[in-house]
Amino acid sequence: MNIRAAIFDVYSTLLEVGAPPTDANVRWRRLFEEMLDAPPPFSRTEFSARTSRVIARQHAEARARGIQWPEVLWPVVALEVIPDLARLSARKRDEFHLRLMQLSRTLRLASGSAECLRWLHRQGVLLGIASNSQAYTLRELTAELQEAGLNLSMFDPEIRFWSFENGFSKPAPHVFAMLTTRLHLRGIRPAETLMVGDRLDNDIAPARVCGCQTWQIAQRRPSHTGSWRDLLEWLKA
């Protein structure tokens, strides 16, 4: 195996994304009543529409400044739509955003991923992350890893890209240029680096441009494509 570093996408790769919880609307109302002492000012559907308009405006402003693949800060977006969030402490706002995200989808660690991560870690492969994400992503991923007896500390802090920290997102070429440069400083070449993701446009294609090996998480099995268990078999071969 000629792999010395492996970089992973998060959503739909490390974490399987499912449907919203069946009681999402009940929990939506409870969230506002418990944290803001008032009923929600609008429905979940209207909230989604309003935040989408804010995000579209912020993206357009960023593109006008030359950022082709911009990223927003979710707390800034949510605060514009729900000004009452300013009354909460920073800790409580973080909790609000996490609970809010838990209404929009369910998450679980992808089947077979824990075994693959453990094996790579035992082999001494440097693990990294490249994720279009927000701050709550770290809490979501940490919680699911811990359920499997794993920890975010398995992933080298210098080889992690979280889009919300940078103001731009995949597939910007800067993402993989930055990560491969950091790996090069560790003596690891792009050809010795594996990118694992679910999307051809965001993960696989830009990583290949930088010279990385790739594996697309999918159910079909052409070369270098398949499930986590397929990936582990390929790594061990």
Can you tell me the distance from the alpha carbon of 125 to that of 108, in angstroms, rounded to the nearest whole number? 24
The residue among 40, 23, 29, 163 whose CA lies nearest residue 106 is 23
Can you tell me the distance from the alpha carbon of 56 to that of 64, in angstroms, rounded to the nearest whole number? 12
Each domain of the chain, given as residue ranges in start order, spans 5-18+107-236, 24-101
Taking the domain 5-18+107-236, which CATH number applies? 3.40.50.1000
Can you tell me the distance from the alpha carbon of 79 to that of 85, in angstroms, rounded to the nearest whole number? 6
Could you tell me if 71 and 168 are in contact, meaning their C-beta atoms sit under 8 angstroms apart?
A: yes
Instruction: Report residue 149's pLDDT band, with 50, 70 and 90 as the boundaries.
Output: very high
Tell me if residue 35 falls in helix, strand or coil.
Answer: helix
Instruction: State the Cα angle at 111 between 155 and 94, rounded to 5°.
Output: 55
For 11-46, how does the pLDDT look when each residue is reduced to its tens digit (9 = 90+)?
Answer: 999 999 999 999 999 999 999 999 999 999 999 999
Say which residues have a Cβ less than 8 Å from residue 94's Cβ, sequence separation at least 6: 135, 136
What stretches of 65-106 show up as alpha helix (H) in DSSP? 74-81, 90-101
pTM to 2 decimal places: 0.94
For 191-230, how does the pLDDT look when each residue is reduced to its tens digit (9 = 90+)?
Answer: 999 999 999 999 999 999 999 999 999 865 555 668 999 9
